Structure 1
């Protein structure tokens, strides 16, 4: 098998539970060897169903799933040899940590002395050395999470599937575990497929992210492309924060712009080839908007009124009223910005500059 061949290929896969509504529709997806791929989307978008079909717990209604070029669509889960980590950990409470980790090896009839070596290695890998004799109930949530991970890795699977595995942890521990998982993936080189509805988690950890909505992958890209260049309005709204401007498309094919209600124009990028005069929305990341207290010479600026000031610790956000028909604009200011230290007064007029390369205009 050529190394350029994907490890997993979904080809024309569909899934329906009731024979009418497609939960996953016409899924074509290649998962590359050794990559960390996240399936990201809101509840009911099809991401977990996709993972369950890959695991073998659900069968596709149509289409094929290939592993190393071989059909596995009807292969039962235990014969796929994939590691699985769930949100609830699914540890056996009456068994010690070492026995829990050894379970997949016992099922595979691995000799006892070999089991001990592999369990020790797996526990070292997830930094639980010396905890093999404890019961899971004596461990913290983060430690139980690690036991579940060690159990998924102990039999050296070629693929590890994770379904919201950090969802039950508190924010600080979750962020710490994200970095640990990413580092573990880097060391092992195993293929990880990770389901989450947390956009920050997906951006932090993944080589690539598949954004699902209504059973369809809306965009499949690396984290930076997904954040900086969303391919449609759904992705722009779901991944990261955006200031959204409503208007109609003006300008020319070479120099498009959004025309706001007051007749003001802001040049931008016409992402979905909206036609002139069509209703459109422009999305701009809050940190890309430049704030000016005095009106600058730049053409792509709009006057706004300060409607709120929110202190976030590492930055300050200004909420600005843009006038009738427009949602509030959010401007993200680093603490090094003069206006973050002494923000403009509530109700005062400021001037917001929208840089053309980051003003992405979407057809509605």
Structure 2
């Protein structure tokens, strides 16, 4: 990726359907050539509308969209040279796999010999080389998804847009396809823009993720930064599992602050929004960052006392549901190797490392 030559730029883009409420608000977004960017957010957050404006199926109410420095805001979809993959695949049921994949080439009037060569290459790319003569009705959901992807890639687009393409697949196949899509992206080097409401899917595949809410990008960042350093309460709660604790700032100390929880304990954490003494705040920590201390551990800083109310087995870890007076339920992810000696009703001493406790106004 090259930050000096972006492929796509959204410049102060807005979109409204009724002339009053903005579905997308003042969107400024840069998409780098060759990256895998996911647009993540709940229903109605503006992510799909953003994708549709990039595809040309929707027109911005204000602002402009640039492709390689050229304004394409009013350019129709068929002139944008973008591949598209939808959740419902949109395959022609009366055409074979090969004919479906060849369709974009037929529209572009490529000679039959070139069409056959490109179709075979696209089929091999998605590991469907032996199924060229089958019809969509003879394929599984995962196979149909591969055909739709091959059709989007067959004409060598400079950008591939995907709108929840794995949403109709079962969990195991969806996770398998996530890995395959990421590998294919790495192999081809084409820019992928991917819409999803599934945060684990976005984290698994993307180079960067833009988190939408209320028509605004709340945070756009590398996946590790997005998970470890969310910039506000919404991102912290929407991306990954999150444990929250409510309290009041006792004192601010540079980039950190000390918070008195409603349950009485004092915890030190990272002061994300510059909360001052007396401010009501929400503390946020990832469940895997909370440590269950052994009975003989004398550590005394950043400790919470909690009652263990449930133990849930997740295969690769245990999830402990804990009760802290005056707080939302507290969750701890515990590696299986540390599971010994736990019983319901037990009073646990939990340590939250200050560097992983993020404090939001």
CA distance in 2 between counterparts of 1:262 and 1:101 reads: 61
CA distance in 1 between counterparts of 2:341 and 2:210 reads: 38
Equivalent residues of 1:293, 1:349 under 8 A apart: no
Once the 2 structures are TM-superposed, how far is the Cα of residue 297 of structure 1 from its aligned partner?
2.3
Q: Per the alignment, in what secondary structure is the counterpart of residue 315 of structure 2?
A: coil
CA distance in 2 between counterparts of 1:60 and 1:297 reads: 56
The answer for the alignment partner of 1:236 in structure 2 is 236
CA distance in 2 between counterparts of 1:302 and 1:146 reads: 49
Once the 2 structures are TM-superposed, how far is the Cα of residue 165 of structure 1 from its aligned partner?
0.1
CA distance in 2 between counterparts of 1:205 and 1:358 reads: 24
The answer for the alignment partner of 1:152 in structure 2 is 152
Once the 2 structures are TM-superposed, how far is the Cα of residue 263 of structure 1 from its aligned partner?
3.2
For the pair 1:215 / 2:215, whether they are aligned, the reply is yes
CA distance in 2 between counterparts of 1:23 and 1:45 reads: 7
The answer for the alignment partner of 1:299 in structure 2 is 301
For the pair 1:76 / 2:76, whether they are aligned, the reply is yes
Q: What whole-Å deviation, never above 9, does each CA across 1:115-139 have from its counterpart, x for those lacking one?
A: 0000000000000011100001100
Q: What whole-Å deviation, never above 9, does each CA across 1:48-90 have from its counterpart, x for those lacking one?
A: 0000000000000000000000000000000011000000000
The answer for the alignment partner of 1:206 in structure 2 is 206
| Structure 1 residues 1-364: aligned runs within 5 Å | 4-254=4-254, 255-294=256-295, 296-323=298-325, 325-337=326-338, 340=339, 342-363=340-361
Once the 2 structures are TM-superposed, how far is the Cα of residue 3 of structure 1 from its aligned partner?
7.6
Q: Per the alignment, in what secondary structure is the counterpart of residue 253 of structure 2?
A: coil
Q: Per the alignment, in what secondary structure is the counterpart of residue 248 of structure 1?
A: strand
Q: Per the alignment, in what secondary structure is the counterpart of residue 166 of structure 2?
A: coil
Q: Where does the alignment leave 5 or more consecutive residues of structure 2 unmatched?
A: none
Q: Per the alignment, in what secondary structure is the counterpart of residue 88 of structure 1?
A: coil
Q: What whole-Å deviation, never above 9, does each CA across 1:256-284 have from its counterpart, x for those lacking one?
A: 12211243210000111122211100110
Q: Per the alignment, in what secondary structure is the counterpart of residue 226 of structure 2?
A: helix
CA distance in 2 between counterparts of 1:322 and 1:253 reads: 26
CA distance in 2 between counterparts of 1:42 and 1:111 reads: 44
Q: What whole-Å deviation, never above 9, does each CA across 1:21-67 have from its counterpart, x for those lacking one?
A: 00000000000000000000000000000000000000000000000
Equivalent residues of 1:12, 1:28 under 8 A apart: yes
CA distance in 2 between counterparts of 1:163 and 1:199 reads: 14
CA distance in 2 between counterparts of 1:343 and 1:73 reads: 62
For normalisation by structure 1, the TM-score amounts to 0.97
Equivalent residues of 2:251, 2:276 under 8 A apart: no
Equivalent residues of 1:85, 1:161 under 8 A apart: yes
Once the 2 structures are TM-superposed, how far is the Cα of residue 348 of structure 1 from its aligned partner?
1.3
For normalisation by structure 2, the TM-score amounts to 0.97
Equivalent residues of 2:3, 2:32 under 8 A apart: no
CA distance in 2 between counterparts of 1:84 and 1:257 reads: 50
Equivalent residues of 1:287, 1:331 under 8 A apart: yes
Q: What whole-Å deviation, never above 9, does each CA across 1:159-214 have from its counterpart, x for those lacking one?
A: 00000000000000000000000000000000000000000000000000000000
Aligned length in residues? 358
CA distance in 1 between counterparts of 2:279 and 2:241 reads: 24
Which of structure 1's runs of 4+ aligned residues deviate more than 4 A? Answer: none
Equivalent residues of 2:249, 2:279 under 8 A apart: yes
CA distance in 2 between counterparts of 1:129 and 1:202 reads: 28
CA distance in 2 between counterparts of 1:234 and 1:4 reads: 30
Once the 2 structures are TM-superposed, how far is the Cα of residue 343 of structure 1 from its aligned partner?
4.6
Q: Per the alignment, in what secondary structure is the counterpart of residue 178 of structure 1?
A: helix
Query: For residues 148 and 361 of structure 1, do their structure 2 counterparts lie closer, same or farther at Cα, with a shift above 3 Å needed?
Result: same
Q: Per the alignment, in what secondary structure is the counterpart of residue 119 of structure 2?
A: helix
